[in-house]
Amino acid sequence: MDKQEAKNRIEKLRQEINRYRYAYHVLDKSLISDAALDSLKKELFDLEARYPEFITPYSPTQRVAGKPLKNFKKVRREVPMLSFNDAFSEQDMRDWVTRVENYLGGKISINQFYQHKSALFYCELKIDGLAVEFIYENGVFVQGSTRGDGIVGEDITQNLKTIEAIPLKILESKEVEKNVKNLGLNPKSYILNSNRLIVRGEVFILIT
């Protein structure tokens, strides 16, 4: 195998591994056995060891390229990262809807909220984990941080890279457009290609 063939094979392996991971972590589909996936990872690792000039920050092998850090540097975020307020009664929820309505200039009707058949809000069970912010630049994961006090958090990028459910590189816009269409949605209603993407969520350990 010459250098160009190795480069092509490395890129192909990355695409395949990421496709299998996406199917497993996002679509809840197992397209390949664990042993077969491990075999692909080993082949990629060996090829990158022989041709280190082809290693990229978003390669699947870079999840274990270094050890999680024990000490973290401070990160000041562009937009404050706030926490949710608790609601203990139906009236608390009604008051919250009123605040949302007032903030949006009355575009949401409380009666519509309680009586309309179509869902106006997405609800899920509360996940009690670690609130984090992910920053992607040109599709590549470049920084992850804790919420901290909302303005200043701690850089835990290296630690987050060890979590396989977190993509080191997000899908290309064409792939996203195809997935959006498969969901029955209009791709033109979404920004599918962003030079800088900030995602906020919760990191937690699932006990089964």
Domain check: are 77 and 1 in the same one? no
pLDDT at 47: 93
Gap between the Cα atoms of 68 and 78, Å rounded: 25
Domain check: are 115 and 184 in the same one? yes
Domain check: are 153 and 207 in the same one? yes
Domain stops at, among 16, 33, 65: 65
Domain stops at, among 14, 35, 65: 65
* DSSP 8-state assignment for residue 149: T
* Count of domains observed in the chain: 2
Q: Write the pLDDT tens digit of every residue in 170-187.
A: 888 888 888 888 888 888
Domain check: are 28 and 58 in the same one? yes
Range of the domain at 111: 70-208
Domain check: are 19 and 74 in the same one? no
Domain stops at, among 14, 34, 65: 65
pLDDT at 111: 57
| Active centre residues (catalytic) | 126
Count CA atoms closer than 13 A to 59's CA, side-chain side.
26
Q: What is the mean pLDDT of residues 66-88?
A: 78
Domain check: are 91 and 170 in the same one? yes
**SS3 for 65-110, per residue?**
CCCCCCCCCEEECCCCCCCCCCCCCHHHHHHHHHHHHHHCCCCCCH
Domain check: are 7 and 94 in the same one? no
Domain check: are 32 and 4 in the same one? yes
Overall pTM > 0.85:
no
CB 83 within 8 A of CB 147: yes
Gap between the Cα atoms of 73 and 79, Å rounded: 18
Q: Is 40 exposed, middle or buried (0-12, 13-18, 19+ CB in 10 A)?
A: middle
Domain check: are 107 and 184 in the same one? yes
